[in-house]
A and B are shown apart, each in its own frame.
Chain A
Amino acid sequence: MTKQHRYLPLTPTDRQEMLEFIGVSEMEALLTDIPAEVRLTTALDIPEALSELELTKHMSSLATKNISTNEASLFLGAGTYDHFIPSVVNHVLLRSEFMTAYVPYQPEASQGELQALFEFQSMVCELTGMDVANSSLYDAFTSLGEACNLAITHTKKGRILMSQAVHPQAREVVDTYAYGMEYDVETIGLNDLSTDLESIKTQIDDDTAAVVVQYPNFFGSIEDLKAVKSLLEGKKALLIVVANPLALALLETPGNLGADIVVGDMQPLGIPMSYGGPHCGYFAAKKAYMRKLPSRIVGETVDSDGKRGYVMTLQTREQHIRREKATSNMSSNQALFALGSAVFMTAIGKEGIREMAEQNLSKAHYLSRNLKEAGFEILSNDNFFNEFVVKVTKPVLEVNKQLLAHNIIGGYDVSELLTTENAMLICVTEKRTKAEIDQFVKCLVEVAN
Chain B
Amino acid sequence: MVNKNDLLYTEEHEWIAVLDDNTIRVGITEFAVDQLGDIVYVELPAVDDKFDAEEEFATVESVKSTSGIYAPVSGIVSDINEALEDEPELLNEAPLESGWLVEIKTEGAIDTSHLLSLAAYEALIED
Contacts and interface: CB of A to CB of B under 8 A. Distances in A.
Interface of A: 291, 316-317, 321-322, 325
B22 interface: no
A325 B64 CA distance: 14
Given A291-B43, A321-B64, 8 more contacts: A291-B41, A316-B61, A316-B62, A316-B63, A316-B64, A316-B66, A322-B65, A325-B66
A322 B65 CA distance: 7
B68 A325 contact: yes
A321 B43 contact: no
A317 B43 CA distance: 13
Nearest to A327: B66
17 contacts: A291-B41, A291-B43, A291-B61, A316-B61, A316-B62, A316-B63, A316-B64, A316-B65, A316-B66, A317-B66, A321-B64, A321-B65, A321-B66, A322-B65, A322-B66, A325-B66, A325-B68
B65 to A, nearest CB: 6
Nearest to B56: A325
Contacts of A325: 66, 68
Contacts of B61: 291, 316
A291 B61 CA distance: 10
B110 to A, nearest CB: 26
Greatest chain A CB density within 10 A among B41, B64, B65, B66 is at B66
Interface size class of B (residues with CB under 8 A): under 10
B39 to A, nearest CB: 11
Contacts, number: 17
A291 B43 CA distance: 10
Interface of B: 41, 43, 61-66, 68
Contacts of B63: 316
A201 B77 CA distance: 32
Contacts of A316: 61-66
A325 B60 CA distance: 13
A325 B70 CA distance: 14
Contacts of B41: 291
Nearest to B68: A325
Q: Which 7 A-B pairs have the closest CB atoms?
A: A316-B66, A316-B61, A322-B66, A316-B65, A321-B65, A291-B41, A325-B68
Nearest to A321: B65
A321 B63 CA distance: 11
A381 B31 CA distance: 65
Contacts of B43: 291
Greatest chain B CB density within 10 A among A291, A316, A317, A325 is at A316
A303 to B, nearest CB: 16
Nearest to A156: B49
Contacts of A317: 66
Nearest to B41: A291
Contacts of B65: 316, 321-322
A321 B68 CA distance: 14
A275 B27 CA distance: 56
Contacts of A321: 64-66
B49 to A, nearest CB: 10
A99 to B, nearest CB: 32
Nearest to B43: A291
A50 to B, nearest CB: 52
A423 to B, nearest CB: 47
A322 B67 CA distance: 9
Contacts of B64: 316, 321
A153 to B, nearest CB: 12
Contacts of B66: 316-317, 321-322, 325
A321 B41 CA distance: 16
B57 to A, nearest CB: 12
Nearest to B63: A316
A325 B62 CA distance: 15
A316 B65 CA distance: 5
Nearest to B40: A316
A5 to B, nearest CB: 47
A321 B67 CA distance: 11
A70 B103 CA distance: 68
